[in-house]
Structure 1
Amino acid sequence: MQFLSYSDKAAVPGLNRNDLHEAEVLFPPLPEQRAIAHILGTLDDKIELNRKKSEVLEGMARALFKAWFVDFEPVRAKMEGRWRQGEWLPGMPADLWDLFPDRLVPSELGEIPEGWGVKALDEVADFVNGAACQRFPPKEGEPSLPVIKIRELNQGVTESSDRVCTNFPEKHRARDGDVLFSWSGSLQCQIWTGGEGFVNQHVFRISSGGFPRWFYFYWTRYHLERFRRIAADKATTMGHIKRSHLAEAKVVVPRDRLVEGAGGAIEVLLDAKLLRLSESQQMAKSRDSLLPKLISGEIRVAPTEGPVD
């Protein structure tokens, strides 16, 4: 609708309600409306189904991590005779039996499996803080990427997201699958699936040369509630944590073979979850680009036969 054609031509253009009442709005015939609703509804249903599947996969991965590497359930099962060689433990294949010890020994964190160690969270992963991206806005016509702030972690990248030139330091570039951790404001840790961008201040991009993604992701998530309590105690409007808190957060480190063997099951669940999230984001983009074209008639669809369920 061309709203300017209804303007009263005053110094400050405005609309008269009576003019709006006379404005004509074009809309598709009812059968075509049903067809449009069916297309958009199908996409929405698929997005919702993927969301539910992602939650289930995330819950399974989180439960396995806690059972194996926090509660040491396989070790306790061996100690108590509930898991014998050649047998399956729920969620634990028999071929992993040799990878778990059968004893708990004292440590600074209390009892942990024999042969395992204790490290600080910032020893198992690198926490690279984002940069002041607003200092490097793209020039007109220059290639750019979105700035990933706390808002983007919550809502994803939108048209209103800030942009930054692409010749930004590579260490601040985030890609799908990277672990991002906002350390001030609303503290959260998630695996990014919003496409390529650059990480802004107050957001860590986490990586590791010695440990797989699932390991430092879930250990950071494990300490997240404590980090949030620390941030909440700050006498500022935007609570935060410091790097010293990362050093104080301790991690139980299994033997390398166990990280590779048992951890593979967790990574498979995470990958399946991320695949569904990525599918949903693509479908949401398709839905949002289709909607105005379908409503305006730029794209026409064949009417459905009979009622749409």
Structure 2
Amino acid sequence: MRLGDLLNLKRGYDLPENQRRPGPYPVISSAGVTGYHDEYMVEGQGVVTGRYGTLGEMYYVNGKYWPHNTALYVTTFKGNDPKYIYYLLSCLGRIHTSDKSAVPGVNRNELHEMAVPAITEKDQQKKIAAILSALDAKIDCNNRINAELEAMAKALYDYWFVQFDFPDVHGKPYKSSGGKMVYNATLKREIPEDWESGRLEQYISLERGVTYGKEDVCTSSSSGAIGILRATNVTGNVVDAGDLVYVPSSRVSSAQTLTKFSTLIVMSSGSKEHVGKNGIYFFDEPLGYGAFCSKITPHANARYFVNTFLQSFWFKAYIKNQCLGTNINNLTNGHINKCPVILAKEEILCFFEDAVKAHYEKMAVNAVENQQLAQLRDWLLPLLMNGQVTVS
């Protein structure tokens, strides 16, 4: 059918950041939710996608929202199930930009004329959407569980290594129970009297990534191929193991592979906000990584301490102050290694590792499950949309 017989697309509405006011309604642009506002332009179920470059990522919303002018949104679903339309559009792949404009953009009129496979029976649409939605819901549930587990680990880290209320010899909170504190000039704050400050290099090993050229790239099915992670694989506080470039494993040394519970940190980017962004790698399969990143491998007795510290406000503020340059911001391994850090007593460090180990192991299980669920969803999606697989 013509795509225009299933839905109607329209450009969103302009809303500069300086005109946004705090409110409950999401502003959805080509990059997804980019803020909130106290007014909305559309209500009900909605589907939004980017207006420039290519028809790419799709965003589904169920409620009132403001579609930004960098995006196209569905104004009417013409009697079709909105969630089915969302998955149908997600399946269309990258549609080439229009060459009829000086500014490359997706032409909604051209999109309306596209021929697409379509299932018109509303009941069948709902069944297809329900299956795919169930997979997405489980992925979202795992993400929320991981966010809670991460918050619990961070809260304990703050309690012990920022407020210094770790258990003393009597099992009482150290500082609150009158434990002696002394001023540390390096950290510019008081710390327990028998603790010291040091450098992050005392807890980690660090390896910078290397550059892989076009001549190195091979297919994922090539014998001995290994995936290469990029700065864009750092999403949130974790490393996403999808959308990889592949090179022959002979090009990647063991030192240049990321292993479970290592951290990938962005070392160079055109955006100052992206430099220093880091995430934990939760997967068993070793992967390589590119030149814009470094691998941080915590010592075995400080694995979770380091991973939690790297997400702390203190570390992020330190990295922000280290960014160099104007157009391209860079970090060196020296910036990371020389980062000041508290040197906790060994027994307290061990207690912390034992206390949060189960949290991080559960986060790893959920991350692996999410990867498998996403692969299943992405495999099923085109088969359901073109009728190769049906739902009884």
- TM class by smaller structure: 0.7 to 0.9
Structure 1 distance, partners of 2:145, 2:346, is: 31
Residue 55 (structure 1) aligned to one of 126, 147, 153: 147
Work out which of the two has the higher radius of gyration on C-alpha atoms and give 1 or 2. Answer: 1
**In the alignment, is the contact (CA less than 8 A) between 1:101 and 1:114 conserved in 2?**
no
Higher relative contact order (CA 8 A, sep 6+): 1
Residue 238 (structure 1) aligned to one of 328, 331, 334: 328
> Which residue type is aligned with residue 204 of structure 2?
A
Structure 1 distance, partners of 2:229, 2:184, is: 39
Structure 1 distance, partners of 2:305, 2:352, is: 11
- Which residue of structure 2 lines up, in the alignment, with residue 72 of structure 1? 164
| SS state at 1:236 partner | coil
- Which residue of structure 2 lines up, in the alignment, with residue 294 of structure 1? 384
Structure 1 distance, partners of 2:209, 2:320, is: 20
Structure 1 distance, partners of 2:117, 2:310, is: 53
Q: Deviations over 1:108-137 (max 9, x none)?
A: 333212332221012221111111133771
Structure 1 distance, partners of 2:245, 2:390, is: 34
Larger strand percent: 2
Residue 228 (structure 1) aligned to one of 303, 320, 323: 320
Alpha carbons of 1:101 and 1:121: their partners in 2 closer, same or farther (altered >3 Å)? Answer: farther
Instruction: Return the offset for 1:65.
Output: 0.6
Structure 2 distance, partners of 1:212, 1:86, is: 22
Alpha carbons of 1:45 and 1:165: their partners in 2 closer, same or farther (altered >3 Å)? Answer: same
**In the alignment, is the contact (CA less than 8 A) between 2:257 and 2:286 conserved in 1?**
yes
Alpha carbons of 1:221 and 1:22: their partners in 2 closer, same or farther (altered >3 Å)? Answer: closer
Structure 2 distance, partners of 1:301, 1:123, is: 57
RMSD: 3.1
- Which residue of structure 2 lines up, in the alignment, with residue 126 of structure 1? 205
Scaled by the length of structure 1, the TM-score of the pair is 0.74
2:223 aligned with 1:142: yes
Q: Deviations over 1:60-97 (max 9, x none)?
A: 1111111101220236xx6xxxxx9467x7xxxxxxx8
Alpha carbons of 1:136 and 1:113: their partners in 2 closer, same or farther (altered >3 Å)? Answer: farther
> Which residue type is aligned with residue 127 of structure 1?
L
- Which residue of structure 1 lines up, in the alignment, with residue 17 of structure 2? none
Scaled by the length of structure 2, the TM-score of the pair is 0.60
Alpha carbons of 1:23 and 1:240: their partners in 2 closer, same or farther (altered >3 Å)? Answer: closer
**Any unmatched runs of 5+ in structure 1?**
2-16, 79-83, 90-96, 303-309
2:254 aligned with 1:162: no
Alpha carbons of 1:197 and 1:41: their partners in 2 closer, same or farther (altered >3 Å)? Answer: same
Alpha carbons of 1:192 and 1:112: their partners in 2 closer, same or farther (altered >3 Å)? Answer: same
Instruction: Return the offset for 1:246.
Output: 2.7
**Any unmatched runs of 5+ in structure 2?**
2-108
- Which residue of structure 2 lines up, in the alignment, with residue 190 of structure 1? 279
| SS state at 1:262 partner | helix
Q: Deviations over 1:288-307 (max 9, x none)?
A: 111111122222221xxxxx
**In the alignment, is the contact (CA less than 8 A) between 2:305 and 2:352 conserved in 1?**
no
Larger helix percent: 1
Residue 276 (structure 1) aligned to one of 366, 370, 378: 366
- Which residue of structure 2 lines up, in the alignment, with residue 180 of structure 1? 264
Q: Deviations over 1:182-205 (max 9, x none)?
A: 122212111024653201112111
| SS state at 1:273 partner | helix
Identity %: 21
| SS state at 1:73 partner | coil
- What is the aligned length? 266
Structure 2 distance, partners of 1:71, 1:252, is: 12
Structure 1 distance, partners of 2:151, 2:306, is: 17
Give the alignment of 1:3-18 within 5 angstroms.
none
Instruction: Return the offset for 1:226.
Output: 1.9
Alpha carbons of 1:51 and 1:122: their partners in 2 closer, same or farther (altered >3 Å)? Answer: same
- Which residue of structure 1 lines up, in the alignment, with residue 181 of structure 2? 104
